[in-house]
Amino acid sequence: MSTHQISLQLNGESHTREVESRLLLVHFIREELNLTGTHIGCDTTSCGACTVLMNGRPVKSCTVFAVQADGAQITTVEGLAQNGNLHPIQEGFMEKHGLQCGYCTPGMMMTSVALLKDNPSPTEEEIRWGISGNLCRCTGYVNIVKAVQYAASKMKGDSNG
């Protein structure tokens, strides 16, 4: 067994911990930092429920070791709202009923935030392509696409205004 000291920024806060090398990032976030918004769905790198941003890119945190995140900037769903205001993507999922059971929602939102940063005006096809690594078993994706479109237009409005 080997343990390592790691330091990372999570949602803007610094954390330093001693971790076993085999600890997965998703377990570190949920069990060491007690942030349970990041979900574990399939445990097989398929479903995307555990998606977080690592240095700005969405990744499946069940397929990264915590020790690999040493020095990284991580954003989880808890980091989306700012000063008590929901992020436009959170508002979108609420306004457009983009969730039913809600299990996939944090992952969907993290992927969508990165998608909109790269491409502020995605077509429906680009949205569907962009979230194709995140599985939802309830909605049929229709309202998820609408939620992302809502966020896209809200974020453009904000930056214009």
What residues line the site for another protein (CB under 8 A)? 1-2, 4, 20-22, 24, 27, 43-46, 48, 51, 57-60, 62-65, 67-68, 70, 111, 129-134
The residue (of 44 and 83) whose beta carbon lies closer to another protein is: 44
The residue (of 85 and 119) whose beta carbon lies closer to another protein is: 119
Least distance from another protein to the Cβ atom of residue 47, Å: 9
- Runs of H (alpha helix) within the chain: 25-27, 88-95, 105-118, 124-130, 142-160
Nearest-10 crossing angle of helices 105-118, 142-160: 40
The residue (of 147 and 158) whose beta carbon lies closer to another protein is: 147
Least distance from another protein to the Cβ atom of residue 60, Å: 5
The residue (of 134 and 143) whose beta carbon lies closer to another protein is: 134
Residue 139: Cβ within 10 Å count? 19
Least distance from another protein to the Cβ atom of residue 30, Å: 13
Nearest alpha carbon to residue 113 among 56, 156, 72: 56
Q: Tell me, what DSSP letter sits at residue 86?
A: P
Least distance from another protein to the Cβ atom of residue 37, Å: 17
Q: Are residues 92 and 147 in contact, defined by beta-carbon separation less than 8 angstroms? A: yes
Q: How many CA atoms lie within 13 A of 149 on its CB side?
A: 13
Helix, coil or strand: residue 97: coil
The residue (of 37 and 133) whose beta carbon lies closer to another protein is: 133
